[in-house]
Amino acid sequence: MNTLADRAQPLAEPSINTEDLIYRKVVIRLIPFLFLCYVCSYLNRINVSFAKLQMVQDLAWSDAVYGLGAGMFFIGYFAFEIPSNIIMYRVGARRWIARIMVTWGIISAGMMFVHTPMQFYVMRFLLGVAEAGFFPAILLYISQWFPSSRGAKVTALFMAAIPMSGVIGAPLSGWIMHSLSGAQNLAGWQWLFIIEGVPTVLVGAFAYFYLTDRIEDAKWLSEEDKKVLRHNIDKESSGKHLHRLMDGLANPKIWLLSFIYLFFTMGLYGVSFWLPTLIQASGVQDSMQLGLLTSIPYALATVTMIVVGKSSDRFRERRWHLAVPGALAAVGFLLSAYFQSNLMISLPALCLATMGVMTTISQYWTLPPAILTGAAAATGIALANSIGSASGFISPIVMGSVNSATHSTTMGIVLLSGVLLCGCLLVFLVPKRLLTYK
């Protein structure tokens, strides 16, 4: 068996075109499937934002009840994130990603049986427990195939699943709730959880057979391809000195990055859990129309994430590619709040906010793998995602409480703008060498 030192022996550098072809092969094999997995993940996480439009009326709940229930997902997610990622590092991504998806698909479909606030809180908590570790597991998996210099574009391609889940899920959710309400004596929101939960179980089972844990085990690559991929990963890892599990928890730079992520994800979950409600506030009431309009910001965000990711890799620069989208998102939220009753202005403003927020998230996740490697990457990425996930609990609760108190979404949106600007300012505290690549 080759040791790390053996694998790190000098390798004749392939031409740029040859190396690009190898990585294109890896992208085509892995990224579309990981993209599908994450679409399932995010769809099952945020479909409650559409279910809310009927649930709160059918079950006589307030926005505060919904906000707390939406946020309970992240309590379970936060508590089990790091342990889950440590297990994934031990057993391999293939087994663990499959287990996570099958479990959360079953729980998500089980949301159809919820009738009381307590049941809602418990099921959302269990959904968070089931999904814990999924996102950092995939990020770690990607980092084991692609060096940081190629990270922004690949991460953007994968994370385009976030807005694409809105592009797909918004019209689908609107159609389900509009067309299937009352079918088989079930409410539209109950059908929503069933139809969007069951496919996740099937995709998770397929992941077990499709994914490859290690470069050396990839039967779809030639031996020369494997050598190039392994050489590039080992070459980059040789400059990093943090390998142990505890290194990922004790590194001050990871803590700084974690709090940047906390602020940016406040904006992300403001969009994820409240976008249909914000559009509804402008006067749109029909579920189908709401679904179609909600898909527009997500579609634009998909394109923006990929374009900015390519630009970030091309110029080997991360700071401005991270801070500028965050600032634009803050401006978009402010404009949408000021012109909330005017759909012709508020919708483009929400498009700007969604494009900016989604882009900051994809750009952010190029940074932790640039600092850590090995087991430290597993815990460090999980730590950053755990702290960021706290915003998933804070954001919907704050928005729900403010909306209930003021009978308006305006102040909640203004708060989201403020925390996004805080995240942009913190970006400039990150050492410049971590934000540029030679």
pLDDT in tens, 200-218: 999 999 999 999 888 988 8
Please indicate, yes or no, whether the overall pTM of this predicted structure exceeds 0.75. no
pLDDT band at residue 50 using 50, 70 and 90 as cut-offs: confident
Q: Is the pLDDT of residue 436 over 70?
A: no
User: How far, rounded to the nearest angstrom, does the alpha carbon of residue 207 sit from its chain's CA centroid?
Assistant: 19
| Domain covering 22-434 assigned CATH 3.90.1150.10 in the classification | no
Give the lowest-confidence range in 6-10, 164-168, 303-307, 354-358: 6-10
Q: Is the pLDDT of residue 373 over 70?
A: no
Q: Is the pLDDT of residue 165 over 60?
A: yes
High-pLDDT (> 70) share of the chain, %: 88
Q: Is the pLDDT of residue 58 over 50?
A: yes
Q: Is the pLDDT of residue 249 over 80?
A: no
Q: Is the pLDDT of residue 2 over 60?
A: no
Residue 359's pLDDT is 92
Residue 8's pLDDT is 44
pLDDT band at residue 372 using 50, 70 and 90 as cut-offs: low
Q: Is the pLDDT of residue 42 over 60?
A: yes
pLDDT band at residue 17 using 50, 70 and 90 as cut-offs: confident
Q: Is the pLDDT of residue 258 over 80?
A: yes
Q: Is the pLDDT of residue 386 over 60?
A: yes
Give the lowest-confidence range in 39-43, 342-346, 403-407: 403-407
Kindly report the average pLDDT of the chain as a whole number: 82
Residue 6's pLDDT is 47
Q: Is the pLDDT of residue 302 over 80?
A: yes
Q: Is the pLDDT of residue 273 over 60?
A: yes
pLDDT band at residue 241 using 50, 70 and 90 as cut-offs: very low
pLDDT band at residue 375 using 50, 70 and 90 as cut-offs: low
Neighbours of 14 (CB within 10 A): 17
Q: Is the pLDDT of residue 189 over 70?
A: yes
Residue 1's pLDDT is 44
Most distant CA pair in the chain: distance in Å?
68
Q: Which residue has the higher pLDDT, 190 or 289?
A: 190
**Structural domain boundaries in the chain:** 22-434
Q: Is the pLDDT of residue 120 over 90?
A: yes
